[in-house]
Chains A and B, each alone.
Chain A
């Protein structure tokens, strides 16, 4: 018997012993057989009595050539202007109907809707896949439903970008600061090598202001409010209108709703 064979035999038997131990433990202490899973710690579904910020976008009111909200958001958050390049960074932008709702039925849709531009941004999902993918907890779910970013902690692995089904995240391939059109002192820029996205204007919400996009919309096409409050304007609008969410079948429970 060679040395290697002996070792193999030993490992086989040791494994058997470990398995026997596990079996015995499971039999003796059924409650402690395996680590207990508490499903309630996984779910981030809406909880009544807790704030969950959400937005309703009325695409009928949204003017097709208007970019007020995009300009204002990107200005207020020092988002670099790299549009048209492969290094583009965006927090809020317009997509075609088909790109925004690729899994909604496109059959016999009216031409007007097919060509309608839909405002898209981070969905601040209740079940955000990006926060699960982040290895450093740089992106995380806040108590108020906002999927937030801690740029100090982001290591630029881009797992969150792969996890996000909505393309809501951008990576800073280059130093963004030279590409910021007009620097705003009230908000930091980012650095090369971090991911960024919409923060639902948490810096404005804390002061009691509405998000910049909602505030700047000349058509009042964006309604912002607490989805957990049945008396909020957004909930009343949701109750009164037929609305859509982006890729609802994924179970991410977006906090953004659309009126088509």
Chain B
């Protein structure tokens, strides 16, 4: 009798493990539906020859906003342009810009300390310049 209840207990434990695993797999699966759905609008926008007119004569956002959140802006730009191929940024005023570091560096090339001075002061070491060419390295 003791032996039988032991077997029963083990089988019940196995069933419990199975049911738990079942729910775990399904919960996990439900949450992981593809986030990489292709966006036909993006495709249509980017294959158009010429693209949108690019205005690079002014800053994309107010200075205060850029100082506080340029990293989020650049991170978003990176994702949009590299992964989605969406290279046109429209700022709140409706001006169009190319999502590229070169959009910033196109104007901010006179001051060789653009980027560097603040980063040095704040002691942050972004890895942008491992690959991207800074205005200090290449005359624009």
Residues on B with C-beta less than 8 A from A35 are 25, 29
Complex Cα distance, B48 from A174, in Å, reads 38
Q: Is B91 part of the contact surface with A, judged by Cβ < 8 Å? A: no
Bin the interface of chain B by size.
Answer: 35 or more
Whole-angstrom distance between the alpha carbons of A190 and B131 in the complex? Answer: 5
Q: Evaluate contact between B13 and A189: CB separation under 8 angstroms.
A: no
A188: Cβ under 8 A from any B Cβ: yes
In A171-193, the 8 Å CB interface with B consists of: 183, 185-186, 188-191
Q: How many residues of A contact B (CB 8 A)?
A: 37
**Cβ contact within 8 Å between A144 and B47:** yes
Given contacts A41-B34, A51-B47, A205-B47, is CB(A14)–CB(B17) below 8 Å?
yes
B130 touches A17 (CB 8 A): no
Checking A142, A191, A208 against B50 with a beta-carbon cut-off of 8 angstroms, the contacting residue is A208
Enumerate A125-173 residues with CB–CB distance to B below 8 Å: 140, 142-144, 148, 150-152
Q: Say yes or no: A189 contacts B85, CB within 8 Å.
A: no
Taking a contact as CB atoms closer than 8 A, the residue among A16, A18, A148, A189 that contacts B133 in the complex is A189
**Residues in B neighbouring A207, C-beta threshold 8 A:** 49-51
Partner of B132, one of A10, A188, A208: A188
Residues of B within 8 A of A (CB): 7, 10-15, 17-19, 21-22, 25, 29, 34, 36, 38-40, 42-43, 46-51, 78, 82-83, 85, 87, 102, 127, 130-133, 137-140
Closest residue on chain A to residue B43 by CB atoms: A143
* Complex Cα spacing A247 to B38, Å: 29
Q: Which residues of A contact B34 (CB under 8 A)?
A: 41
**Please, could you name 16 A-B residue pairs with CB atoms under 8 Å apart, sorted by A?**
A10-B10, A13-B7, A14-B13, A17-B13, A18-B14, A18-B15, A18-B21, A20-B11, A21-B15, A25-B18, A143-B38, A152-B82, A185-B133, A190-B131, A206-B51, A208-B49
